[in-house]
A = this chain, B = another copy of it.
């Protein structure tokens, strides 16, 4: 059995952003040499998400508006007594989830026609890491 680990670092220019990272994940899977197995893609910062959905900019805008409806940025969070101002980012990241595990079959991501792996940033403008761990044969 093989394991292979790599990291992506993303610094978004704005506070909120969605980015497709499927090609980066696929390149790491290829580098691992694993033909059959699993790859975990997990945000190492607690104000960011990893999720699978459609690469469509209108939908990305819908997602951001919807997250703001359900987990709005506002001053009144108890977390802000620590000096932070990003409690909404902690909640938004949980709505979308912070990690995915993708199957690898015949050396490639075994995905449906529209599945793309996305990074969701809710407190950006600084470097954030994603861990990618491949395991298989």
Residues in A lying within 8 Å of B, measured CB to CB? 1, 3, 5, 36-38, 40, 42-46, 51-54, 56, 58-59, 61-63, 66, 70-71, 77-82, 87, 90-91, 93-103, 105, 110-112, 114-115, 129, 131, 133, 135-137
Contact = CB atoms under 8 A, between A and B. Distances in A.
B52 A98 contact: yes
A90 B137 contact: no
A43 B111 CA distance: 9
6 contacts: A1-B137, A45-B112, A56-B79, A58-B82, A101-B101, A105-B133
Contacts of A78: 58-59, 61-62
A69 to B, nearest CB: 9
